[in-house]
Amino acid sequence: MISTRILLSVCLLAIGSFAQQSWTQRNPGTVQPLQGVAWMGTQLVAVGNRGTVLTSPDAITWTSRSPGTSRGLLGVAWNGSLLVAVGDSGTILTSANGINWTARSSTATAAGTSIMGVTWAGSRWVMTSFDTLRTSQDGTNWTTVKSIPTSNCYSVAWTGTQWVAEGRASKVLRTSDNGATWGSVSGISGNRDLYSVMWTGSQLVAVGASGLILTSPDGSVWAERNSGTTQTLYGVTGSSSQLVAMGTGVLLTSTDGITWIQRVSTASLLLAGGAPTGSQFVVVGSDGGNTGTVFTAPQSGTGILLQWKTGHSPAWHSPGAYMLLKGIYSADGRKPTLGFPR
């Protein structure tokens, strides 16, 4: 076994990091505002007003699809084999490829019972329709779990042990028994509407009116964070170390959910939803109120990959950063090969 040793100093230089990222505006080629986007692994699917469905392999070139409805679509999600899109007047659509869509029946059909959002919770689909939570194993057959004790529920997140729902007037509720009972929370004041909540794997992050951002490690105790904006935030996406919040005229990023940096500030924008692809973040919305728009930014990693010509590979590697190395040699005097993954 050949050992390795470091003879001189090592200097790390991280560039192109998430904290320094820049955003690029794209033209999706539609006049309809976009409301949500999902990543299928090989392509993006964006949905919006008047039955708009667009697909793209790279967020640059977009193709319009025909979902068979002119009703507004408010959200879309992917579980690895199926897309589910939801929207106005109880609209539910499913697709295996983002191109061919099938309408599914819904008990929420009145104009006032639009389905506000849909998510995949690891073993089942969940959608919110104001005061009602519905679930499905297959995206086709839906069951009402339990009415949510709030008049307007806009979003719900699954933490692995409980559901957390949020909505009008800073209302946040949680349940660990599939909606049979709902518990209250603490640390939230005021009456600002909350429009989106997500579980990062380590904490819940919720966003809403007047720049409101809340975080919680357990769904019970919440803390308000300084977003640096008074604009309404409609969506939040990302991971435990890379978060993106978007809304009226603004786009914010954070590495921890606590400190937020404003990346985009344009009064004409209304950014509604986003998704990470593994290589970039994609955010969708409208520009000027009646034109769809897309913003993209690199999705950075946190380290490097070292590959030795002889000896053993170092134990850690990750894309998205670079390393400046001086005087690193293996025991036989040969320099290692540096690999910088995309």
Q: Which residues contact 255 (CB under 8 A, 6 or more apart)?
A: 18, 19, 241, 242, 243
Give me the phi and psi of 222, to 5 degrees please.
-115, 155
**Cα–Cα distances in Å, from 267 out to 232, 270, 289?**
12, 8, 10
**pLDDT tens by residue, 9-56:** 333 333 345 655 789 999 999 999 999 999 999 999 999 999 999 999
Q: What gap in Å lies between CA 43 and CA 45, rounded to an integer?
A: 7
Tens-digit pLDDT string for the chain (342 aa): 434 333 333 333 333 456 557 899 999 999 999 999 999 999 999 999 999 999 999 999 999 999 999 999 999 999 999 999 999 988 999 999 999 999 998 765 444 578 989 999 888 899 887 777 888 999 999 988 766 766 578 888 999 898 898 888 778 888 888 777 888 788 888 889 999 999 999 999 999 999 999 999 999 999 999 999 999 999 999 988 899 999 999 999 999 999 999 999 999 999 999 999 999 999 999 998 779 999 999 987 533 333 323 333 333 333 333 233 333 333 333 333 333 233
* Nearest partner of 117 among 237, 248, 210, judged by Cα: 237
SS3 212: coil
Give residue 182's pLDDT. Answer: 81
Distance, in Å, from the CA atom of 311 to the CA atom of 336, rounded to the nearest integer, reads 9
Q: Given the DSSP bridges, would you call strands 125-129 and 132-136 parallel, antiparallel or unpaired?
A: antiparallel
What is the rounded CA–CA span in Å between residue 122 and residue 90?
A: 23
Set out the domains of the chain in order of their start, with CATH numbers.
26-298 (2.130.10.10), 304-339 (no CATH)
Residue length of the chain: 342
Write out the two tokens for 189.
Answer: 């004041």
pLDDT for res 6: 36
Q: Which of 199, 125, 141, 144 is nearest to 166 (CA)?
A: 199
Q: Among residues 260, 259, 225, 264, which one has the least CA distance to residue 248?
A: 264
pLDDT the model gives residue 165: 84
How far is Cα 76 from Cα 37, in angstroms, rounded to an integer? Answer: 6
83: which 2 tokens?
Answer: 């897309």
Distance CA 104, CA 92 (A): 5
Residue 221 β-bridge partners? 186
Q: How is residue 266 written in tokens?
A: 């344009």
pLDDT at 18: 61
**pLDDT value of residue 306:** 30
Two tokens, residue 180: 């049979």
**pLDDT for res 9:** 32
**Alpha-helix residue ranges (DSSP H) falling in 80-179:** none
Residue range 172-222, pLDDT digits in tens: 888 888 777 888 788 888 889 999 999 999 999 999 999 999 999 999 999
Instruction: Check residue 169 and give its pLDDT.
Output: 77
Residue 181 pLDDT: 82
pLDDT of residue 17: 54
For the chain, what percentages of helix, strand and coil (3-state, to nearest 5) are there? 5, 50, 45
Task: Look at residue 13 in the predicted model and tell me its pLDDT.
Answer: 35
Per-residue confidence (pLDDT) for residue 308, from 0 to 100? 29
Say how far apart CA 114 and CA 192 lie, in whole Å: 21
Please tell me the distance from the alpha carbon of residue 117 to that of residue 187, in angstroms, as a whole number. 25
Distance CA 305, CA 303 (A): 7
Instruction: List all residues 6 or more positions away from 216 whose beta carbon is below 8 Å from its beta carbon.
Output: 185, 187, 203, 204, 206, 222, 223
3-state secondary structure of 209: helix
